[in-house]
Amino acid sequence: MVLRYSSDPHAALVIMDASIKNDIATSISHIHSANRPLIKTVHHASFVTSMEAELFAIRCSINQACSIGSVSKIVVVTDSIHVAKKIFDYGSHPFQIHLAAILSELRSFFSSKDSNSIKFWEYPSKLR
């Protein structure tokens, strides 16, 4: 997977994770796009749930990847695929503010070019 997408100048490979320790959430994302420096983003927040931390990490990662001008394919690698699926759940739940921001970014990304795409790949944490 890494070899396939790391050489594609129109792809952004996003690897992200979030964790909580002592009521402090840390979200980290690494974004790789061919022939560009690796982008590493770290955020900290207090008193949030793990789902909020994961959604925030996905939100920031997608935002960063969309800001790379020539990117038309985004691949998000996460150990929280169940959280990523919540992005497309239109039901009422407490995380709609994050979902609205993510969907707004994706709407801009998809409307800019018909061939743009995003994939979510699960990397189960038990494999680490």
Q: Across the strands, what pairs with 26?
A: 19, 44
Per-residue pLDDT of 29-53, as tens digits, reads 899 988 888 889 898 999 888 888 8
Q: How far apart are CA 52 and CA 46, in angstroms?
A: 11
Is the whole-model pTM more than 0.95? no
Report the 10 Å Cβ neighbour count for 41: 16
Three-state SS at 120: strand
Given this model, what pLDDT does residue 128 score? 47
- Both tokens of 56, joined, read 């925030």
pLDDT band at 97 (very low <50, low <70, confident <90, very high): confident
Contacts of 72 (CB under 8 A, 6+ apart): 10, 11, 113, 115, 116, 117
The matching CATH number, chosen from 3.30.420.10, 1.10.1040.10, 3.10.450.350, 3.40.640.10, for 2-122 is 3.30.420.10
